[in-house]
């Protein structure tokens, strides 16, 4: 295949692109693939999770601009392009009963209407492959679930000339994947490897709480070797300074153990319009040689 390969990753908030599939994107960028991150919201309602920055009045008053600058830095580190879809962060409702979502937020938009800017972007960028979240959002954040919904609509509609006729010339992506990097086999493997070496594991609590986030085992279809790019992934994640504590659990597993025990990032093939054999080691399997 001589045509330029293009990958689009659809994410809910700035920082999601660096915690889900970042090493994969950096790998493909290094191979000459054109990679675009579509970020649905500005992350305006995200909590400041880095304890070193909590209570900073400038950050609290300018969180939208701060998170935009963090995204700019992460984008440069990963070598990807990035576009904002322009929706407003829904926040993560907590309590019992759960409070209502704020008016005008992303998760309360009409799905068909909210898919239009993504259809427009797909038709402009022309990706062969799109990645996003599964129907549970990866975890049940309302913006992640909404991201799934609009991506499913956009994948089907982008190639249909009768849908969204004002959104550009039709383009049909060939494959759609769900990010499954936080999968149970990987978590167990790293957890057991750390314990076997007499080290503390940050995954014990994750495994205890697993059933809260996922009611069934996901099907892992695609394992992308990308351990050479784990440092770039971590650097991009740390660029989201308001969201990530560089001394936190994200970074407690030594890099050599990660590479030895689990050197891939995983995906679930949700839709494919090309023939491919499972399991795959490449998101463009079935496309490169067509």
The domain spanning residue 241 has which CATH number?
3.40.50.10320
What percent of the chain lies above the pLDDT cut of 90?
79
* 11 appears as a binding residue in the annotation: no
Q: Domain of residue 141: give its range.
A: 6-182+218-272
Residue 202 lies in a domain: no
Is residue 126 domain-resident?
yes
pLDDT-derived band at 60 (thresholds 50, 70, 90) equals: confident
How are the residues of the chain apportioned to helix, strand and coil, as percentages rounded to the nearest 5? 40, 15, 45
Give me the pLDDT at residue 248, please: 80
Specify if 42 maps to a domain.
yes
Is the pLDDT reported for residue 2 higher than 60? Answer: no
* Tokens read off for 85: 């879809």
Using CA atoms, how far apart are residues 61 and 199, in angstroms rounded to an integer? 40
Do the domain assignments include residue 177? yes
**Position 247 pLDDT exceeds 90:** no
Please give the pLDDT value at position 138.
85
For the beta carbon of residue 207, count every other beta carbon within 10 angstroms.
Answer: 13
Residue 64 labelled as part of a binding site: no
Total domains present in the chain: 1
Sequence-distant (≥ 6) Cβ neighbours of residue 62 within 8 angstroms: none
* Residue-level pLDDT at 1: 45
Distance CA 216, CA 92 (A): 23
Helix (H, G, I), strand (E, B) or coil at 176: strand
Q: How far apart are CA 119 and CA 130, in angstroms?
A: 12
Least confident stretch, 15-24, 68-77, 200-209: 200-209
Q: 194 lies in a domain?
A: no
Q: Over 90: is that where the pLDDT of 86 sits?
A: yes
Residue range 171-230, pLDDT digits in tens? 999 999 999 998 999 999 999 999 999 999 988 888 887 766 655 678 999 999 999 999
Q: What is the pLDDT of residues 117-145, one digit of tens each?
A: 999 999 999 999 999 999 999 888 999 99
The answer to whether the peptide bond before residue 97 is cis (omega within 30 degrees of 0) is: yes
Band of pLDDT at residue 290, cut at 50, 70 and 90? low
> pTM value?
0.95
Separation of alpha carbons 268 and 289, rounded Å: 21
Q: Is 16 annotated as a binding residue?
A: yes
What separation, in Å, do the N-terminal and C-terminal C-alpha atoms of the chain show? Answer: 6
**Is residue 248 a part of any domain in this protein?**
yes
Q: Which of 81-90, 96-105, 204-213 has the highest mean pLDDT?
A: 81-90
The answer to whether residue 68 sits within a structural domain is yes
Tokens found for residue 202: 């940050």
pLDDT for the residue numbered 118: 98
Q: At what angle do helices 22-30 and 230-239 cross, to 10 degrees?
A: 120
Sign for the pseudo-dihedral over CA of 154, 160, 166, 171: positive
Q: Is 210 contained in some domain?
A: no
């Amino acid at each position: 295949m001589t045509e330029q390969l293009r990958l689009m990753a659809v994410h809910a908030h700035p920082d999601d692109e660096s915690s889900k599939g970042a090493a994969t994107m950096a790998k493909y960028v290094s191979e000459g693939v054109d990679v675009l991150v579509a970020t649905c919201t500005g992350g305006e309602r995200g909590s400041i999770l880095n304890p070193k920055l909590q209570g900073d009045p400038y950050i609290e008053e300018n969180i939208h601009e701060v998170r935009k600058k963090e995204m700019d830095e992460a984008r440069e580190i990963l070598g990807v392009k990035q576009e904002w879809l322009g929706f407003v962060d829904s926040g993560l409702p907590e309590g019992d009963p759960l409070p209502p979502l704020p008016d005008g937020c992303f998760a309360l938009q009409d799905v068909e209407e909210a898919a239009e800017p993504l259809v427009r972007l797909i038709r402009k960028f022309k990706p062969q492959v799109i990645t996003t979240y599964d129907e549970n959002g990866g975890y049940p954040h309302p913006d992640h679930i909404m991201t799934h919904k609009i991506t499913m609509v956009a994948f089907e509609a982008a190639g249909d000339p009768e849908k969204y006729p004002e959104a550009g010339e039709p383009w049909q992506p060939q494959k759609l994947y769900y990010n499954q990097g936080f999968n149970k086999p990987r978590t167990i493997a790293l957890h057991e490897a750390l314990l076997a070496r007499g080290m503390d594991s940050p995954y014990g609590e994750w495994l205890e709480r697993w059933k809260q986030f996922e009611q069934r085992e996901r099907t892992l279809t695609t394992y992308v070797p990308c351990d050479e790019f784990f440092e770039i992934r971590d650097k991009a994640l740390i660029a989201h300074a308001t969201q990530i504590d560089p001394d936190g659990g994200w970074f407690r597993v030594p890099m050599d153990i990660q590479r030895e025990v689990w050197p891939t990032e995983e995906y679930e093939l949700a839709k494919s319009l090309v023939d491919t054999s499972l399991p795959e080691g490449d998101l463009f399997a079935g496309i490169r040689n067509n």
